[in-house]
């Protein structure tokens, strides 16, 4: 089975003024590992379109979109959204528009073609961006834009979003909370940035806060106990993944102890649910992952499962 692989060169143009973990080399590392692994023949490459304002307005406030557009600095200059390390430069808006547009295209492709899986290799990431704010390296909430497109443009009834980034998907929760058409499950290190999620009370949100030094066995046990049964009961029309690989043992952005086999297991479990409930339809979106070699290897492990018959 082939998988759509969606990206765009514009995503490489979003740069910080100095060394930064969320860098263009992340996508290059993925591309290098794809070639080295021999998985390329199983991928159907597509270029991401620009997201439309209408698609963004399903998840973001107009005032936030306007402020972001108006705040893009000129050539050679940078600004920040949160007073911290969520930077924007002259090319950042277009990169973010491509990242969100990739997920919209991924949803269109898996719902309209015989190839039912897609991976969006894009940046900036999105799961920390809420309705009216950007933070944590994120400008637009890419996975939420895609989920709402599936509901509003394709008429789906139920979309599940699973986030296995090491950081809580606070922006996604902000957008989807209390919408019964959406089920959101997020596993993350706690206490840790962005210091949210552990006390959530919402029928459609399942948060799995886990302590530092969590390994694959502990993560698998929690996902098996709480996330997988909820997904089965929800009976989704589409599964979407916020695929963060920064919980890898080699990634010093956090303190999990996961390896490629753990991401392979997660992917296989979610792909299996997609096959049982929604004809295999699954769209995965890159979030974190900052140790370049580990990121590339983990994405390859993820994609090998998605391309299996």
Residue 191 is predicted with a pLDDT of: 98
Kindly provide the b/e burial profile for residues 84-111, where b requires at least 16 CB atoms within 10 angstroms of the residue's own CB: eebbbbbbbbbbbbbbbbbbbbbbbbbb
193-198 long-range contacts, Cβ below 8 Å, gap at least 24?
193/136, 193/167, 194/128, 194/135, 194/136, 194/167, 194/168, 194/170, 196/168, 196/170, 197/168, 197/169, 197/170, 197/173
State which residues form the domain around 108: 3-306
Task: Going from the first residue of the chain to its last (309 residues), give the mean pLDDT of each consecutive group of 10, the final group possibly shorter.
Answer: 96 94 98 96 98 98 97 94 88 98 98 96 98 97 99 98 98 97 98 96 97 98 98 98 98 97 98 98 98 98 94
We report the CATH number of the domain holding residue 47 as 3.40.800.20
Instruction: Decide if 147 contacts 159 (C-beta within 8 A).
Output: yes
Looking at residue 42, what DSSP letter applies? G
Quick one: pLDDT at residue 64?
98
Backbone angles phi, psi at 79, to 5 degrees: -140, 170
Give the per-residue pLDDT at 47: 98
pLDDT of residue 1: 83
Which is it for strands 87-88 and 79-80: parallel, antiparallel or unpaired? antiparallel
Strand, helix or coil for residue 189: strand
> First-to-last CA distance in the chain?
5
Nearest residue to 292 via CA among 38, 99, 9, 23: 23
Query: What stretches of the chain adopt beta strand conformation (E)?
Result: 3-7, 43-47, 79-80, 87-88, 117-120, 159-163, 182-189, 205-210, 238-243, 282-286
Closest CA to 196 of 128, 257, 132: 128
pLDDT of residue 81: 85
- The count of structural domains within the chain is 1
Buried b (16+ CB within 10 A) or exposed e, 5-21: bbbbebbbebbbeeeeb
**How confident is the model at residue 309, as a pLDDT?**
67
Distance CA 257, CA 213 (A): 6
pTM: 0.98
């Amino acid at each position: 089975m082939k998988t759509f692989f969606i990206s765009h060169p514009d995503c490489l143009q979003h740069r910080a003024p100095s060394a930064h973990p969320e860098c263009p080399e992340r996508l290059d590392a993925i591309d290098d590992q794809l070639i080295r692994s021999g998985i390329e023949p199983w991928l159907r490459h597509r270029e991401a379109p620009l997201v439309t304002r209408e698609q963004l307005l399903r998840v973001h406030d107009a005032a936030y979109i306007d402020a972001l557009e108006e705040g893009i600095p000129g050539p050679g200059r940078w600004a920040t959204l949160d007073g911290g390390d969520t930077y924007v430069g002259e090319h950042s808006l277009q990169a973010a528009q491509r990242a969100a547009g990739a997920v919209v295209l991924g949803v269109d492709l898996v719902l309209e073609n015989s190839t039912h899986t897609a991976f969006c290799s894009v940046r900036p990431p999105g799961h920390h961006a809420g309705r009216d704010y950007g933070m944590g390296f994120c400008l637009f909430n890419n996975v939420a834009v895609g989920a709402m497109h599936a509901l509003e443009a394709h008429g789906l009834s139920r979309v599940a979003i699973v986030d296995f980034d090491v950081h809580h998907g606070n922006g996604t929760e902000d957008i989807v909370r209390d919408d019964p058409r959406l089920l959101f499950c997020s596993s993350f290190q706690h206490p840790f940035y962005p210091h949210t999620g552990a006390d959530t009370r919402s029928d459609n949100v399942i948060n799995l806060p886990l302590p530092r030094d969590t390994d694959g066995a502990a993560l698998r046990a929690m996902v098996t106990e709480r996330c997988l049964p909820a997904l089965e009961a929800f009976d989704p029309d589409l599964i979407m993944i916020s695929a963060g690989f920064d919980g890898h043992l080699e990634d010093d952005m956090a303190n999990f102890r996961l390896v490629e086999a753990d991401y392979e297991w997660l992917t296989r479990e979610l792909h299996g649910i997609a096959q049982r409930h929604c004809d295999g339809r699954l769209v995965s979106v890159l979030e974190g992952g900052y140790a370049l070699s580990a990121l590339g290897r983990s994405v390859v492990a993820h994609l090998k499962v998605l391309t299996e018959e």
